[in-house]
Amino acid sequence: MATSSADQPLVLASFLVAFECYDRPMHTDTKKSLSPLVFALVAGVFALVALLAFRGWIAHGADIFLSLAQAGISWCF
């Protein structure tokens, strides 16, 4: 779209109005990311919790299952 020389002052004026309304303190950088160290620590804590939960299930899984089964059967009587 080509503008004629008669339209240029109108375009410039609208640009200046928009530029004056621009609030500079509101311009912030929104790109934030976790550092690799923080990401590694969070992943390590999650892996440790998952490992402990799995270990607990292996050690007490049969007791947990029987307890849940007995509680479910008790609703039948």
Give the mean model confidence (pLDDT) for residues 62-76.
Answer: 83
44 within a domain of the structure (yes/no): yes
In the chain, the number of structural domains is 1
- CB under 8 Å to 42, separation ≥6 — which residues? 34
Give residue 56's domain range: 34-77
1 within a domain of the structure (yes/no): no
Give the mean model confidence (pLDDT) for residues 11-33.
Answer: 64
Residues 11 and 3 sit within 8 Å (Cβ to Cβ): yes
- Helices in the chain by DSSP H: which ranges? 8-21, 36-74
Q: The pTM is what?
A: 0.47
- Measured CA to CA, the distance from residue 75 to residue 57 in angstroms comes to 25
40 within a domain of the structure (yes/no): yes
40 band by pLDDT with thresholds 50, 70 and 90: very high
Query: Which contacts of 60-63 are long-range, i.e. CB under 8 A and separated by 24 or more positions?
Result: none
